[in-house]
Structure 1
Amino acid sequence: MELLFAWRYFKSKKSTNAINIIAWISVLAIAVGTTALIVVLSVFNGFEGLVRDLYTDFYSDIKIAPAKGKFFVLDKATQQTIQQTQGISQLSYVVEEKAMLLNGDYQTIVSLKGVDENYARTNRLTAHIKRGIYDLGTTDQPLLLAGTGIENAVVADPENRGLPLTLYLPDRGAKSFSADGGMRSFNVDISGAFMVQQEFDNKYAFTNLPFLQYMLDLKPNEYTSIEMAVANPDQLQKVKKSLQRALGDKFTVRTRLEQNQSLFTVMQVEKWVIYGILSLILLVAAFNMIGALTMLVMEKQKDIGLLKALGANDNLIQRIFLSEGLVLSAIGGGIGMLLAYIICFLQLHFKLVKLEGNTFIIDYYPVAMSGWDFLLVTCTVLLVTITASWLPARKAALQLQSLKS
């Protein structure tokens, strides 16, 4: 019954047009706020999904590393424990070290990863090779798969090999490091260049595991990490817990997300900060709604008096005007959600809004609509409008009315 009264009050003509104008301004403000919230949250979802996919392609599902120190010797018992863990589909043994790559006057620092033949099966790095091929060479004739940023820094060309590239690595047996000592060098060539995103392209290069172990004087079973892929992504946390329980506190076991926890945490913080800022638009709508409902209460004083004379209590009167606020929010929120869906749909299918600069992997704003975002915005709109409606509704319920004119 309260909604029926509220709907009739919304449709009925008012004594002054100002009440109608303020009411529709409230509806418009709610619609704009709702649209902005859903569109921005969808764009953040799009960027987060894109970054997550890029990290999925570059990083493995799970990484095992020593809890202390950089290198560890993998004994047969620990190796069997890892291999017998259910849910693991691929294992790759990795050695990583900082190195310097020189080509005449051009040089750059790289994070060099020596990987075995299974490494390409633990991620989708090979899908991002832009030039050349995935070939890491042998111990005697090592080849590098480098990021495009490294390729450009040393002016290398995978399709025209034979450049005098020199790789410098720290000599673990040296007592001191200087310009004349403490480094070991080896002539290498670049077989291919990959492009995932700038962070990786400017930092990483890959070679074969035995070569890097030889250059660093490591034992055949000495590594910096073990990277692996799981058979079922839904069982990722279960596999991680099984490994951590079996390996104990001597090793750390991290999922892909945990390997980049700071990045995803920052993205989530940015998303919620923007959500809070855009919610201020709804506060503007709340002030307009207070004004509209206050003027409506004044307009309907005789109706309130008549209802009370017929036996309506204060709670019924309050619920009527609260329902009026819900009607305004439902109309504004519904319009806003429809507009947001249309905008996101058009961007998703036609890429109407472009990214400037042409420096990112895509040239348009990614969008990913989520039902949870629609639910969150709905709850936000309801909270704001109910709070804004409570004051004039309470005033209408408590004021004394008379049927005498």
Structure 2
Amino acid sequence: MTSTDAARRQKGTRPFSRFEWVLAGRYLRARRRDAFVSVIAILTMVGIMIGVAALIVVMSVMNGFRGELITRTLGLNGHFTGFPIEQQFTDYEQVRANLEGVEGVVSAVAFVEGQALVSSPYNSSGANIRGMSLEDIEKLPLLYQSVEYGGWEDWDELEGVAIGSRMAANLGLAIGDPLTIVTPNGPRTPLGSTPQIRTYPVNAIFDVGMVEFDSLFVYMPIDAAQTYFRLYEDRLREGFEELDPLATDEEIDAAYERVGMATAVEVFLADPDATATMQRPLEDAAGRPMVFTDWQTRNQTLFSALQVERVVMFTILSMIILVAAFNIISSLIMLVKDKAADIAVLRTMGATRASIMRVFCITGTAIGFIGTILGFILGVVIALNAEAIRAWISNLLGITLFPPEIFAFSELPSRVDPLEVTVVLAVALGLSFLATLYPAWRAAQYDPVEALRYE
């Protein structure tokens, strides 16, 4: 033996050499006498696959819910809502124009809003009445483009209403049918307030995909809403300093003008997350006392709960991968016990402890790697086709999975986040590798003499 061969023998094999990979591959392949160990390895692989797939699917669906909730909520409600204080909001058109001139503001809309009871000959329900001009409705693409029946033609001139598809189904209404709106705050009489009752034809039926809006909101022209909720004041026109007590009705109508009021104004930003830096410029640009509240403050409880739920679900589902990782430990320990004689022979032939440890680390990590890749493929496929799968299962079983009345959406949303998928894969691979360390270390500690004594 040359000095070079002796030095190579003393040094041992190169880390992660072909010898180690070939040996680890042989230990992964099933033989008749190793069938039980191989079955445990396969079950471990399946467990990791299911855990990774479940994590990807659940996190994608939760991302979809959060994304759709933000998109649809902010598609109809502004990033800021400004409420007037100290004086009546009769200058809403000027305020709206001032706010739209602020850098970073996409649009601003003014509206009249109130609660009422809506009814038809067949049913009745509570509703949120919102009065808006056609110019402002066009600034809300989610609403403007979601009309299924009817349309917005001559919206400001016609005293009609637009209702959601679920409200139309609940009340049994179609285009042209009358909708009666009732509010207790009507005209005052010596005996007290009387209910305000008006009937309007249905001009449009929309479907924005959110149960809350499709079943609760009624839109009408802002002038009609101001008249219905009595949000106006009669002002003497310029040039009429005083009116003759004997003036005719025509002269009185000519002398006075009706000035409507708005309830609030909503502002849409180019960057929804820039609320902290935009509030002061909006307050300064309004030109009158107003209180602005941003969408994060209005929905803080909801989105905080969603964030907590995402973290909790990630932690719980990660335990599936953790359990599968423990199966890697048990399967490798059994494999080490079964291969004790082989380890002893390898040690006598010059294999180092580190080489033996790497062989079993490669074996266990390979189980986790294959399970992780299969889970990644399965999870992404399911996440990208979540709605189709939901519809197929619903049709197959004859039941409604994720009913929109509970989950607020007519479809099951799903959005795959590459960063979250990367984190899931890293967690699965990391746990798989950590699970191999103890069995591999135990294999490396085998004494060849003791292992071969009874062979």
Counterpart in the other structure of 1:251: 291
Question: For the structure 1 residues 194 and 245, does the alpha-carbon distance in structure 2 shift closer, same or farther, using more than 3 Å as the test?
Answer: same
> Structure 2 vs 1, CA of residues 217 and 29 (structure 1 numbering), >3 Å: closer, same or farther?
closer
Q: Is the 8 A contact 2:116 2:129 kept in 1?
A: yes
C-alpha distance in 1 between matches for 2:39 and 2:79: 59
Give the equivalent residue in structure 1 for 2:242: none
Structure 1 residue 97, shift from structure 2 partner: 1.0
Alignment partner of 1:211 is 2:254: no
Q: 2:313 matched to 1:282?
A: no
| CA distance in 2: counterparts of 1:302 and 1:70, whole angstroms | 92
Query: What is the CA deviation profile of residues 187-213 of structure 1, one whole-angstrom value per residue up to 9, with x for unaligned ones?
Result: 433222222232112211111223323
1:241 aligns with 2:277: yes
1:125 aligns with 2:143: yes
Secondary structure in 1 matching 2:392: coil
> How many angstroms apart in 1 are the aligned matches of 2:128 and 2:167?
10
- Once structures 1 and 2 are overlaid, which stretch shifts more, 269-278 or 382-391? 269-278
Q: How big is the shift at 1:293? A: 1.2
After superposition, residues 45-84 of structure 1 pair within 5 angstroms as: 45-57=63-75, 59-66=76-83, 81-84=98-101
Q: Give the drift of 1:226.
A: 1.4
Partner in structure 2 of residue 383 of structure 1: 430
2:339 and 2:16 map into 1 onto residues whose CA distance is 15
Change (3 A) 1:238 1:7: farther
What SS does structure 1 have at the residue aligned with 2:272? helix
SS at 2:152 equivalent = coil
AA aligned to 1:129 is V
Q: What CA distance in whole angstroms lies between the structure 1 residues aligned with 2:273 and 2:66? A: 20
Q: Give a deviation string over 1:329-349, Cα, whole Å, max 9, x none.
A: 112112222333444566678
- Structure 1's unaligned 5+ residue stretches are none
Structure 2: distance between partners of 1:325 and 1:98: 64
CA separation of 1:221 and 1:191: change in aligned 2, threshold 3 A: closer
Shift of 1:98: 0.8
Instruction: Using the aligned pairs only, state the percent identity.
Output: 19
Does residue 419 of structure 2 align to residue 372 of structure 1? yes
Q: 1:86 is matched with which residue: 103, 106, 116?
A: 103
Whether 1:37 and 2:84 are equivalent positions in the alignment is: no
The 10-residue stretch of structure 1 (129-138 or 20-29) with the greater mean CA deviation from structure 2: 129-138
Letter in 1 for 2:424: V
Residues 35 and 337 in structure 1, CA contact (< 8 A), matched pair in contact too: yes
State the match for 2:198 in structure 1: 186
Is the contact between residue 108 and residue 265 of structure 2 (CA under 8 Å) also seen in structure 1?
Answer: yes
CA RMSD of aligned residues (A): 4.1
Q: What corresponds to 2:115 in structure 1?
A: 98
CA contact (8 A) 2:183 2:196 kept: yes
* Superposed CA offset, 1:314-364 (max 9, x none): x66545433332221112112222333444566678887344439649887
Q: Distance in 2 between matches of 1:280 and 1:7?
A: 32
Using structure 2 for the length normalisation, give the TM-score. 0.70
Are residue 294 (structure 1) and residue 333 (structure 2) matched?
A: yes
Closer/same/farther in 2, CA of residues 97 and 131 from structure 1, 3 Å limit? same
Larger Rg: 2
> Aligned runs of 1:252-331 on 2, under 5 Å?
252-255=292-295, 259-301=298-340, 307=347, 310=350, 312=352, 318-331=357-370
Greater CA deviation, 329-338 or 33-42?
33-42
Give the letter aligned to residue 108 of structure 1: S
Q: Counterparts of 1:85 and 1:25 in 2: how far apart (Å)?
A: 61
Alignment of 1:387-402 (within 5 A): 387-398=434-445, 400-402=447-449
Q: Residues 136, 339 of structure 1: CA spacing in aligned structure 2 closer, same or farther, 3 A cutoff?
A: same
Matched, 1:11 2:51: no
What's 1:165 paired with? 180
Q: Deviations over 1:234-275 (max 9, x none)?
A: x333476224444179522424x6654544444444444444
AA aligned opposite 1:158:
I
Unaligned runs of 5+ in 2: 1-14, 234-258
